[in-house]
């Protein structure tokens, strides 16, 4: 096997060593972080962004745990549109404003991969597979992702995504209550596994559930220490490594099974195998893109169902739009909704769903807590008249534009009827902009429209609180939750009743 994660016996021994040993390691970590980051910074020059006050190590936990509040505090306390702070030995510069937004997204030397490697840390890291990739391998992965989203492969995915969704929705029963940030995310995770991996995985519900558990473990195990000092064997890091190892083995087994069987299947793995790509490229494609796609799309889908549960007018508009598509384009004699929706051509889903498009766009604006991260690989540039040196990390919070009341009145209010601000430069960056846009946009939109359409036709739903009553205040996306933007756990649920239409 080309990749082996650590010594299994050592990892097991550490995890079972008990709280005393694990706490001792945690103390060592804290000491290392403090000693590394308390070195005094040079005084800010006229061209340098203003530094945050106080010891540098005090920025570490807020940046990873309360990022939205931390960045807003930074702008407030410095009184500047650009400021800097230290994460260990890494200089991080935060920019805001219209001119900075354009400069950030169009700067040729700003590298996304390098930025996320240090500042994010939630992607399973396997050197040569999902990290440390050669430029050629990255280019191949991007090319294959584009191939998945061509007309024919994407059209072929529509019935499979709808059938997977039908099976999951059937398990809900005739009525009940669920947490949308669990159930709807599960729906999108299955759709993403179907779209970007293999039938050996996507046809096995238990295996898909196991993969979701492992990726969730990567999320919960991502701490400041695991990102900034990944070489220290903290309990969280050991668990992350173990989860990464198991994800890797699941993907490799699927590839080996396909190659050994000699049976050709109509899925993404077959496209990768037939293209003659290196095995490491195939593994990296599936491991990295599965979670990158499922996280963002799952968050959006969860909030769409949440918002529509609290906005009956938009729920009905979306439902009416889908019903009109069925009337015009479905020729199926089958009684099931999934089969009838599968009759609707891809180009219709993409060009004749203005209501769904508006709902997706507004959901991304108000409930997608992205902070774009880059590393300046050179040369040095100026943003807001401040120097961005080569090697520095640069971040731009989407909240700077998407939650700006000067651009979007009452920015926290969900309103898909909003008109795009015509006099503002780059007023919307939901799918990225400039030289780095979301490469999976087309697939993500199709997944969102299919799953939302099927859910709306199969169920009537409303939003309720933990007592089962309509919430007095609509849930507000929590931008400090950098993964799902979810409100406080237990604060909102979806109450549903099956319609008389067969799934």
Binding residues for heme: 438
Residue 379: CB atoms within 10 Å? 10
Cβ atoms of 394 and 401 closer than 8 Å:
no
Give me Rg for the CA atoms of the chain: 23
**Helix H or strand E encompassing 91:** strand 90-95
Pick from 55, 112, 65, 126: which is nearest to 85 by CA?
A: 55
Strands 175-178 and 90-95: unpaired
- The token pair that represents 490 in the structure block: 């237990």
Please, what is the Cα angle at 444 between 289 and 412, to 5 degrees?
110
Cβ atoms of 353 and 347 closer than 8 Å:
no
Burial of 226 (0-12, 13-18, 19+ CB in 10 A): buried
Helix (H), strand (E), coil (C) string for 101-116: HHHHHHCCCEEHHHHH
Q: Identify the residue whose tokens are 């997944």.
A: 447
Cα 43 versus chain centre, distance = 37
Give the HSE-up count for residue 300: Cα atoms under 13 Å, Cβ half-sphere: 30
Burial of 265 (0-12, 13-18, 19+ CB in 10 A): middle
Question: Annotated binding residues, as ranges?
Answer: 438
Q: Identify the residue whose tokens are 């009341």.
A: 405
Residue 353: CB atoms within 10 Å? 22
What φ, ψ does residue 460 adopt, rounded to 5°?
-95, 135
Q: Which residues contact 327 (CB under 8 A, 6 or more apart)?
A: none
Alpha carbons 129 and 148: distance in angstroms, whole number: 19
Cβ atoms of 340 and 158 closer than 8 Å:
no
Alpha carbons 430 and 365: distance in angstroms, whole number: 6
Provide the 8-state DSSP code for 352.
S
**3-class DSSP state for residue 321?**
helix
Provide the 8-state DSSP code for 9.
H
């Amino acid at each position: 096997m080309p990749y082996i994660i650590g010594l299994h016996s050592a990892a097991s021994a550490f995890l079972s060593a008990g709280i005393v040993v694990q706490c001792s390691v945690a103390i060592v970590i804290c000491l290392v972080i403090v000693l590394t980051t308390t070195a005094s910074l040079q005084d800010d020059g006229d061209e340098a962004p203003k530094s945050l006050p106080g010891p540098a190590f005090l920025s570490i936990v807020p940046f990873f745990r309360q990022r939205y509040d931390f960045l807003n505090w930074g702008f407030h306390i410095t009184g500047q549109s650009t400021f800097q702070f230290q994460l260990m030995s890494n200089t991080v510069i935060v920019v805001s404003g219209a001119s900075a937004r354009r400069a950030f997204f169009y700067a040729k030397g700003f590298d996304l991969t390098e930025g996320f490697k240090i500042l994010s840390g939630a992607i399973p890291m396997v050197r040569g597979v999902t990290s440390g990739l050669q430029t050629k391998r990255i280019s191949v992965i991007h090319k294959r992702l584009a191939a998945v989203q061509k007309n024919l492969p994407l059209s072929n995915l529509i019935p499979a995504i709808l059938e997977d969704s039908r099976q999951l929705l059937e398990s809900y029963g005739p009525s009940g209550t669920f947490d949308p940030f669990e159930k709807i995310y599960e729906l999108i995770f299955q759709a993403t596994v179907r779209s970007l991996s293999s039938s050996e995985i996507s046809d096995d519900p238990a295996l898909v559930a196991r993969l979701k558990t492992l990726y969730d473990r990567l999320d919960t195990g991502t701490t400041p220490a695991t990102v900034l000092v990944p070489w220290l064997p903290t309990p969280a890091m050991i668990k992350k490594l173990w989860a990464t190892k198991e994800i890797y083995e699941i993907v490799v087994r699927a590839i080996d099974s396909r190659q050994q069987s000699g049976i050709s299947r109509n899925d993404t793995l077959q496209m990768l195998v037939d293209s003659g790509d290196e095995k490491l490229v195939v593994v990296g494609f599936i491991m990295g893109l599965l979670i990158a796609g499922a996280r963002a799309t799952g968050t959006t889908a969860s909030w769409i169902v949440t918002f529509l549960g609290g906005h009956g007018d938009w729920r009905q508009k979306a439902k009416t739009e889908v019903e009109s598509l069925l009337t015009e384009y479905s020729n199926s004699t089958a009684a099931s909704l999934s089969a009838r929706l599968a009759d609707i051509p891809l180009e219709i889903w993409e060009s004749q769903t203005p209501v769904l498009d508006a709902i997706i766009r507004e959901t991304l604006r108000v409930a997608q807590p992205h902070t774009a991260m880059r590393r300046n690989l050179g040369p040095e540039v100026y943003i807001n008249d401040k120097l961005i040196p080569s090697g520095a990390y640069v971040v731009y919070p989407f909240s700077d534009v998407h939650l700006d009341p000067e651009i979007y009145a009452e920015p926290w209010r969900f309103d898909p009827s909003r008109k795009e601000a015509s006099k503002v430069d780059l007023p919307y960056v939901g799918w990225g902009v400039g030289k780095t846009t979301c490469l999976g946009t087309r697939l993500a939109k199709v997944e969102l429209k299919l799953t939302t359409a099927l859910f709306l036709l199969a169920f009537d739903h409303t939003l309720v609180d933990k007592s089962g009553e309509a919430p007095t205040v609509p849930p507000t996306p929590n931008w400090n939750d950098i993964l799902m933007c979810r409100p406080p756990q237990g604060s909102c649920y979806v109450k549903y009743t099956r319609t008389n239409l067969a799934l």
